[in-house]
Amino acid sequence: MKPDASGTARVPLAPAADKAGQPSPRSSSRPLVSASAVKSPPCRETGGDIGADWDAKERMFRNFGGLLGPTDETVGMQKWTKGANVTVTVVWVDPTNVIAATYDILIDANAEFTHYRPPLNQPLRPGVWSVRILYHWSPVAEMRFLIAPLTYSRHQPIRQDDALKLHNGPAKNSYMEQSFHGLNPVLNIPVSLGYVEQSKRNAALTGQQLEHWVDGLVGELWEAADICAVGPTACPVMQACPKNPWSSLSPDPKSHLGPPRADGRIR
C-alpha cells in the first residue's frame, strides 16, 4: 500500500462485486468478480466466483488477493440451493468476444457447490472476461472478472517483447483444441474487429501507457472501500491506518517479535 500526495493510503481494492456436479466439455457444434442473476426458476444458483487455487475441501479460493493474471489457472465456482436436478451450460468469453470454453454441469438435487477449471491455453488475454450460465440456451446469470495485464516481469518493468508474449492471448487465438466460433451468433455474442485491433494495440503497451491501461481496467470492476491516514492529517474524521484492521500498518501481535527476554521468549 502506497500513500498518495496527501499522505493518505487507500485500502486494498475490493471487487465491485464438495458436492460438486461433474462438468462435461461441449463440442464445437453446440468474480472483485461481479455477478448478476437474470432469472431464478428453474435455476438454483445463489452466487459464484472466479478465482485461482480453489480449495475444494474448505470451499474457498486460496488466492486471497483475488488478482488474476495471464498465466493463472482460473476456476469457476457456483453456489446452489437444493432442488430438482438441473443441467446448465457454462460459457467463458474473453475480452474480444472469443468463446474460450463451454461445458455442461449436472447439478444434483443436494449439490451446494460446483467448480471446474477449464483447460484453457495460456496466456489468457488481459481484460474483462465474462462467464455466462445458461439453461436451455437462455441466460440465467453472468459473472465478470478481470485478467490483469502484467506491469512487471522477472522483477523488472516489463519489456515490450515480453508484453507481446503475455498480453496477446494464446497461440492462434485458440484457448482449446476445438473452436467455439460457431456459437457466437447463437449466443448473440458479436465478433468485433475493433475489439481485436484494440487488443493488439494494448498488448504492445509498456511503461506509463501500460499502467494507465491497468488503472482503467481495475476501475471497471473494483472500487475503494475505505481510506486511512498513514501520518498526521488535517482531516479530523479520517482514522489512522494503525487503528484499521485492514491496513498493513495495523498491529499484528502474532507476528511481532522482540529481543529475547529473561525466559528466552521473543514474543
Complete DSSP assignment for 106-125 = EE-TT--EEEE-----SSPP
Cα 200 from Cα 191, distance rounded (Å): 15
CB count within 10 Å of CB 247 equals 21
Q: Are 185 and 255 in contact (CB under 8 A)?
A: no
Query: N- to C-terminal Cα distance for the chain?
Result: 26
List domains and CATH numbers for the chain.
31-225 (2.60.40.1930)
Cα 168 from Cα 158, distance rounded (Å): 14
pTM for this model (two decimals) = 0.76
By C-alpha distance, which of 197, 131, 207 is closest to 168? 197
Cα 238 from Cα 131, distance rounded (Å): 38
Written as tens digits, the pLDDT of the chain (267 aa) is 433 333 333 333 444 444 444 444 433 333 345 555 445 445 688 889 999 999 989 999 999 888 999 999 999 999 999 999 999 999 999 999 999 999 999 999 999 999 999 999 999 999 999 999 999 888 889 999 999 999 999 999 999 999 999 999 999 999 999 999 999 999 999 988 899 999 999 999 999 999 999 999 999 988 888 999 999 999 888 999 999 989 989 988 777 777 888 887 776
